[in-house]
Amino acid sequence: MRDVLCVPFDEQHELVFAADCSGGIGLKQYDVVQAPYDVVSYYGARVSLMELMSIGATPKAFVLQNFVDDGSWDKLVAGIQQTMVELQLSLPITGSSESNMPLMQSAVGVVAVGTVRKEEKRINITPMDARWAVIGEPLVGEAVIHKKDRIIPLSLFRMLLQVDGVYEIIPVGSKGISHEWKLMHGERPLRCSLPSHASAGPATCVLVSYHQKQEPLLQSLAGTLFYPIVNEL
């Protein structure tokens, strides 16, 4: 199970949709976390595009739902465009703004739309003897702003997509590493030096399955962001 929706398109392709949202994060008086709107949308776009690209899909378009106000649209678009720059993408953006009802807290929703060849979809393709690691650390809220150096960079994520011997890359969300692990392995236990139940907010880390021969390369690419998982059968 992955956080994407795949819909048959033709004999060879599927449409893929990935979504993310945030609430109470922005510059309104009652927001829980104070953050500029380009930062808010940057991380929302990051999540949805990482989810899309991690299964082998090619992004085609982006949808923005702005519940802040009309005046925040350009800042939100700027954040999305920054995400695209870091992922070497150029996508059309459409969406809508709530301009009738003023809200007391900020809210933003994003959807990435893409296509994937059925034979190239990277879901449930990890062999049983694969090794696993977490790259990046689980962070949420203000920690995302103050500990940027512990977040997996999009440049590194993009490189991992191209490494031979990397089977699957699974962005970790708000339910933590253990949640993503259980979706893949059921009750199969794991050991990791990171807090496995901590929220990873806007996909600040990823689970990676890989052939053991690629471990030195992954350690070199990720540096101190590489956290091996020791799983027990």
CATH number at residue 61: 3.30.1330.10
Are 140 and 169 part of one and the same domain?
yes
Dihedral pair phi/psi, residue 123, rounded to 5°: -130, 125
Q: Give the range of the structural domain holding residue 31, as residue numbers without chain letter.
A: 5-120
Judge if 138 and 95 occupy the same domain: no
Residues 113 and 175 in one domain: no
Residues 179 and 226 in one domain: yes
Are residue 157 and residue 70 in the same domain, yes or no? Answer: no
What is the pLDDT at residue 232? Answer: 53
Using CA atoms, how far apart are residues 67 and 136, in angstroms rounded to an integer? 30
Q: pLDDT tens digits, the chain, 233 residues: what are they?
A: 467 999 999 999 999 999 999 999 999 999 999 999 999 999 999 999 999 999 999 999 999 999 999 999 999 999 999 999 999 999 999 999 999 999 999 999 999 999 999 999 999 999 989 999 999 999 998 899 899 999 999 999 999 999 999 999 999 999 999 888 888 877 677 788 898 899 998 999 999 999 999 999 999 999 999 999 986 54
- What is the reported pLDDT for 187? 66
Q: Would you state the pLDDT for residue 224? A: 97
* Domain end (from 76, 98, 120): 120
Say if residues 25 and 32 touch (Cβ distance below 8 Å): yes
Tell whether 196 is covered by a domain: yes
Q: Residue 108: which of 143, 77, 140 has the closest Cα?
A: 77
- What's the angle, vertex CA 138, arms to CA 82 and CA 219, rounded to 5? 85
- Number of structural domains (the chain) is 2
160 and 54 in contact (C-beta within 8 Å)? Answer: no
Are 111 and 173 found together in one domain? no
Please tell me the predicted confidence (pLDDT) of residue 145.
86
What is the pLDDT at residue 1? 47
Residues contacting residue 57 through CB under 8 Å, at least 6 positions apart: 4, 16, 114, 115, 116, 121
Q: What is the pLDDT of residue 12?
A: 96
Same domain, 70 and 175: no
Instruction: Note whether 45 and 140 are same-domain residues.
Output: no
Burial class (CB in 10 A: 0-12, 13-18, 19+), 23: middle
| pLDDT confidence of residue 231 | 60
| pLDDT, position 2 | 65
**pLDDT on residue 62:** 98
Does any domain span residue 160?
yes
Do 185 and 84 share a structural domain?
Answer: no
Q: What is the pLDDT of residue 181?
A: 85
User: Domain check: are 69 and 149 in the same one?
Assistant: no
Looking at the structure, do residues 46 and 83 belong to the same domain, yes or no? Answer: yes
Task: Give the residue from 53, 86, 120 where a domain finishes.
Answer: 120
Regarding whether 150 and 44 lie in a shared domain, the answer is no
